[in-house]
Amino acid sequence: MGSHRRPKPPSRARIATLGMAAGAVSLLPTQSQAAPKPTIDEVRKEVERLYEEAEAPTEEYNAIREKQKKLQREADSAQDRLARKQQEINELRDAIGPLAAAQYRSGGVDPSVQLFLSGDPDDYLDQAEMLDRTSSRQAEALRAMQAKQRELTQERRAAQKRLQVLEETRTKAAQTKNEVQDKLAKARKLLNSLTAAQRARMEAAQEREDTAAGVSDSPATYNGPASGRAKAALDFAYAQLGKPYEWGATGPNSYDCSGLTGASWRAAGVSLPRTVKQQYDAGRKVAKSDLQPGDIIYWYNDNQHNGMYVGNGKAIHAPRTGKNIEIVPLDSMPFFAASRP
């Protein structure tokens, strides 16, 4: 602060140097943007990663949808119960109406005056007895109506709670759906950034890898040793070979992984729950060394991906978006567990 001299205007040379430096700085992002485009192999690996990441929320979405269906059924039956109870109350109210009218007509006059006015004491006593019966019937009907009214109020509260939980579940399902679709959109965008020739090269490389690994999605018929229900399940699964994977799908034109295992065993008359986790929890666990064709295989962990053992160290599964139902070596992914429906 000691000097009050105005700073010297920058010299032309200095301006030129600053300009070059500014130019260099402004070039930096451009240079990084112009970094070599990812190789076809890098794109493929990133697409694989995004598809794999979409699998866990897909299963979560399936579980939420199952819960949503159950809540919807409960809400519907609660509405039916409410309607029935309201009808019962209306009927009771209608029944009380004539009783109340009778009591009003007979009970509006003091009994001693009524006796005095009555030309026939016996007639009065008959009337009094009838009135007494009417009053007790009416009291009973009123009590019944009040009890029904209380039940109706409780039912209404319970129905409101169910609808609230159902709405929360719907919101959660929508969020999870968006999460999956976001990952799939990113994968599609990456794939769309490739030229047709690059994509063809990528698919050819994938096919070579699949062939080398013994992967096949060509239509085939199961002709292994399985019998009974396991054979029926495998016959169905084999008939789906070559159909596309689609998240959240349970057939008949596309499947996700647990959608395929569930549909295959359903064709054999066995009802499995919807998600990988639920199928894992419901099944009787078998050791890898005791595998039989038809057993359900879980890869990675207990809730991410499953398929069915077909024998000879191979399994059939709905792999991921962009691929078709295929037969793969059992150890093409990290084996986690197996269960027998």
Which residue has better confidence, 148 or 161?
161
Amino acid at position 6, single letter = R
Contact 217, 203 (CB under 8 A): no
Domain ranges of the chain: 40-192, 217-340
Which of the 8 DSSP states describes residue 324? B
* Mean pLDDT within 18-35: 42
Does the structure show a pLDDT above 50 at 264? yes
**In which band, very low, low, confident or very high, does the pLDDT at 334 lie, cut at 50, 70 and 90?**
very high
Rounded to the nearest integer, the mean pLDDT of the chain is: 80
pLDDT, tens digit, 9 for 90 and up, residues 75-102: 888 888 888 888 887 887 777 666 665 5
Q: Which CATH number fits domain 217-340: 3.40.630.30, 3.60.21.10, 1.10.357.10, 3.90.1720.10?
A: 3.90.1720.10
Pick the closest to residue 217 from 260, 259, 180, 181 (CA basis): 260
> What b/e string do you get for 232-269 counting C-beta neighbours within 10 Å, with b at 16 or more?
bbbbbbbbbbebbbbbbbbbeebbbbbbbbbbbbebbe
Compute how many other C-beta atoms are within 10 angstroms of the C-beta atom of residue 40: 17
Contact 217, 327 (CB under 8 A): yes
Where residue 203 falls (left for φ over 0; alpha for ψ -120 to 50; beta otherwise) is alpha
Does the structure show a pLDDT above 60 at 203? yes
pLDDT at residue 180 in the model: 86
pLDDT at residue 21 in the model: 36
* Mean pLDDT within 129-150: 69
The one catalytic residue among 317, 320, 321, 333: 317
Per cent of the chain over pLDDT 70 is 76
Does the structure show a pLDDT above 80 at 109? no
Confirm whether 124 is a catalytic residue: no
* Mean pLDDT within 194-220: 86
**CATH code at 40-192:** 1.10.287.1490
The one catalytic residue among 184, 215, 257, 268: 257
Confirm whether 305 is a catalytic residue: yes
pLDDT at residue 29 in the model: 46
* Mean pLDDT within 20-38: 47
Residues constituting the chain: 341
Confirm whether 82 is a catalytic residue: no
Q: Which of 84-88, 104-108, 172-176, 231-235 has the lowest mean pLDDT?
A: 104-108
Does the structure show a pLDDT above 80 at 270? yes
The one catalytic residue among 305, 319, 321, 333: 305
